[in-house]
Structure 1
């Protein structure tokens, strides 16, 4: 296979379901490619552990027809949504979202205050469903659980063959009707999601919502199946919805699973949410959906237990979203114990970078726990320490984009820890969204297409701290929705992204 696409690691076996051309060579690019590497090829005898990793990279669509999508919007219409035209802005944005769907896509709408109403069942996206959105009016308190369960029910009641399915839940407040406690709410949500392919995306509007609860609700769908967005101000509504929709319209693979096996020693830890131990040398890692151009990295820490060498194999299995076929790939990485060679072994830059990503996500979680205990100073110490470690990384000059983003996000969150008021207003929400984004390697914010030009330069680099998880589809989706908003309201802000003036929507054949 002649594939010159740069890859982080070396691959041992990446050919699967290839279609040969007349000359007997492949003209089909793999939807996902799998590579693997050890952080260090050789370690000293005194070293008890070694780290191996695999990388999964999704290709761009290259004109493939995307699968149909089912989208259910669950919208808070409680009384607080009347303030600052929040409900009106969310209605306008939902109408713009509908305009980006094609006739074979389906849309459903559920709204809630203390009552829950199915405003439209899951039907073909059309002007009729847009009228249902326009009819929403603000009401009473917030039965978040009732609205969520009704939205999930709309999808479970409709056929789902080969469709991308998602619920988008938006609220500006705390759950104060229905199930209000986090543990039973998450348990019920997981039960409703069990056995489905449904994604769950939550949007917290303003400073009064429970960011941790919305993160947990989105996380109930599993890795790669959900996101939490913090909508701090009115102008962020369109960008957040567009970012989410752009992902849904660019799903490359579903039901992605990696099986990890070690030839010797013991797998001590797999650094990925949802990873499950089978035995001492075998783990499975579900990764859910992967969007076009996204990457997934799985870091495996192995205890050597006196072994002279250890090989870790990674077996990838997924459903190709474009054709519904099950595809496979394998790759291996190994480490050997050798005192002399260990002295000159050079760390793999990509593995080091991914370790920094995971350490940053862990630091954000620890800092949030400190701040929730009203230990703002302790939270700042945790993040300042991690920021210093990021600044000291030697890989920054080589693979700077992610490292710079980590430094940028730590700086942003530290601004939200200026004091307790700042933490309650935005710090906790920023921390939660950025932590989840780095854990999943997915963009979960309205970013870059508008703000890239104004982002500060970090760490002395000439580059800017762009969101490295944001794919072309997300950028194009925002550009299209911003143009739609401008057409509705000439005073609306214009997109400043470098998306082409004319393009096939999201780079797909529709």
Structure 2
């Protein structure tokens, strides 16, 4: 036994240095500050336990080398697998794996651990030079590997495969001190200066003619509910659709549409990620979070800036807002890999510090956003007068800058991780700030969820978009504007209205329904009902653009047979009504009436199937029906609803209210509805995430969409 401990100590002593990749090829996003996958092997928390409970159960004892050992791990023996805690005996149908540090495990247990990025011994924390990889189905089988030549037992169909790990660079920087004990400035005005290159490109760009340069930046279309109405009839609730789409093309001077191919200029981003590193994140969760952050870091461009806030019982800024140049990426990866998990969950403090980074920066990129991830309930909320700890009201706890107090709103895109997070609070944060809420049910899709989000953030082509609606006919008045979570208002006389839309990603659309009254008319005349105009800011040139207004018109006729409903209008009406049914069902479920909630969802599925768009085979109707069915199944019992139903419904409501893609359940592709809001940039970033080899380097940053200011063709 003493010999084995000496081997473990030697292995630990050789791995006290940080491994930082020198190039993209050396990048391994799951490595931590010691060249190990920090906390990746700690036993995962038991479902239902709080962070404080878990921290007590897996309290860590510091060793002389500054490393941490799990009490759970120290009790394991050669006859018990330290991962599943079950007996290990040859001949029981499970292959056994004995590591170079002499500790043994079930092969399928340790192979699964390695698959999620853990390359250290769960017992002694020694870094392995060779790791077990599961058989032919593994995505690592195509890499350089060899069959284990040592005579380890193989009692079943598992094939023991080992992959040799890269040698740790001994000249790398030393381990970063604990992030919660390092010094931190009182004012976050130490952000790295902006990249001057975009300004240089802008100055050298050809002169921009508003009509040519912006004609295809934003597309406006309008659709009346009926294109022809009887002249003698009046309608009290006539619906008009406003369709907006940020385009991915530009019009040249000869009126031909040119795709963007060579131009990579796009609005740079200031991104702050606020990450939960409480005790419940220990183990595979933290390892996968580090890997996901590695993907984000590798896919930000040199003009984009990133800062990372880690929070548990308190919050700490890991590094200042800095550009993701080659050196910036290395430093960011090093800082993220230094994360360890412990303590409770103080979401409000993490948000406060994340907002502080953006509030106090000296220079500002055109686009800014916060990404918040948490897997637990907030344990540090404000207490009430009676000493009770009520549900947190994040509407009031959010910093004023996030709510628009600094003149612009900072969207917070929240990610509820696992079944124990507070979905209602995370959804409340996103709604209050103008962000989206995503539900990450399965641990291994966290990177895909992040990829989809940053795919959008890196493709902003329209900012501060505002839509104005005015009545043209003297007898027309606006009854209501259906705009989801977007702020809308009506004039006191009902003759005008507006919608504050904000930012649009490349190829992203928005649809709004306006209800008006239509008076009688004269046969044969064409009646202009509404005028729709848009104002927005170009994120590259900073110019304010006024687009030519579009009109909503109808034809009046003496004799009209059956009025044909516009498929476009009916499709969007179905979307809004489905969202209303989801909200109603959620309200019933929260009050304990799951039967009533299921009945609401089932009734709306029937109504949806009888709509004009459904009869026409509309894909959005099919996707809405599938989503309603999924929600009904997740309300089958109180246990299922508490575990995943509530979060699934809230992520769906967030997606519909903002008309933006969110992660749902255990995948970002679990229903075709996701594709109704996904943009090409999101799809491309998802593809990069899903094809990136486990533990391998990420490809070079993708070409980002933007509007190309192409020179006018020269005369022949």
What do residues 1-43 of structure 1 show as CA deviations (whole Å, max 9, x unaligned)?
A: xxxxxxxxxxxxxxxx7568xxxxx587511111112112345
- The answer to whether the 8 A contact 1:52-1:334 is kept is no
Q: CA deviation at 1:446?
A: 6.3
2:552 pairs with 1:299: no
Counterpart mapping for 1:108-187 below 5 A: 108-125=307-324, 126-179=329-382, 184-187=393-396
SS in 2 for 1:408: helix
Which structure ranks higher in relative contact order (CA pairs < 8 Å, sequence separation ≥ 6)? 1
- The answer to whether the 8 A contact 1:165-1:197 is kept is no
Give the TM-score, by structure 2 length. 0.60
Which sits farther off after the overlay, 118-127 or 424-433?
Answer: 118-127
- The answer to whether the 8 A contact 1:258-1:284 is kept is yes
Partner of 2:236: 48
Partner of 1:10: none
Partner of 1:340: 559
Partner of 1:459: none
Question: 1:450 and 1:170, CA in 2 relative to 1: closer, same or farther beyond 3 A?
Answer: closer
Question: 1:204 and 1:252, CA in 2 relative to 1: closer, same or farther beyond 3 A?
Answer: same
C-alpha distance in 2 between matches for 1:364 and 1:94: 33
Ranges in structure 2 where 5+ consecutive residues have no aligned partner: 1-207, 250-259, 383-388, 709-716
Question: 1:447 and 1:256, CA in 2 relative to 1: closer, same or farther beyond 3 A?
Answer: farther
C-alpha distance in 2 between matches for 1:345 and 1:335: 12
Counterpart mapping for 1:292-441 below 5 A: 292-304=506-518, 311-329=529-547, 330-335=549-554, 340-341=559-560, 343-396=561-614, 398=616, 400-441=618-659
C-alpha distance in 2 between matches for 1:465 and 1:441: 11
Ranges in structure 1 where 5+ consecutive residues have no aligned partner: 1-16, 21-25, 456-463, 491-500
2:471 pairs with 1:262: yes
- The answer to whether the 8 A contact 2:274-2:310 is kept is yes
C-alpha distance in 2 between matches for 1:450 and 1:286: 28
Question: 1:146 and 1:339, CA in 2 relative to 1: closer, same or farther beyond 3 A?
Answer: farther
Q: CA deviation at 1:447?
A: 9.2
Counterpart mapping for 1:443-482 below 5 A: 443-445=661-663, 451=669, 467-482=675-690
- The answer to whether the 8 A contact 2:241-2:514 is kept is yes
2:459 pairs with 1:250: yes
- The answer to whether the 8 A contact 1:236-1:446 is kept is no
Q: CA deviation at 1:278?
A: 2.8
What do residues 372-404 of structure 1 show as CA deviations (whole Å, max 9, x unaligned)?
A: 011111111111111112222232365622222
Q: CA deviation at 1:196?
A: 2.2
CA RMSD of aligned residues (A): 2.9
- Determine which structure has the larger helix proportion and give its number: 1
Partner of 1:220: 432
Q: CA deviation at 1:119?
A: 1.2
Q: CA deviation at 1:449?
A: 9.3
Q: CA deviation at 1:162?
A: 4.6
Question: 1:160 and 1:331, CA in 2 relative to 1: closer, same or farther beyond 3 A?
Answer: farther
- The answer to whether the 8 A contact 1:318-1:326 is kept is yes
Give the TM-score, by structure 1 length. 0.83
- The answer to whether the 8 A contact 2:584-2:597 is kept is yes
Counterpart mapping for 1:14-53 below 5 A: 18=209, 26=212, 30-43=216-229, 45=233, 47-53=235-241
Question: 1:509 and 1:318, CA in 2 relative to 1: closer, same or farther beyond 3 A?
Answer: closer
Q: CA deviation at 1:172?
A: 0.8
2:418 pairs with 1:206: yes
Aligned with residue 58 of structure 1, among 246, 249, 252: 246
- The answer to whether the 8 A contact 1:239-1:447 is kept is no
- Bigger CA radius of gyration: 2
Which sits farther off after the overlay, 302-311 or 249-258?
Answer: 302-311
- The answer to whether the 8 A contact 1:250-1:291 is kept is yes
Q: CA deviation at 1:433?
A: 0.7
Partner of 1:102: 301
- The answer to whether the 8 A contact 1:162-1:324 is kept is no
Q: CA deviation at 1:52?
A: 1.1
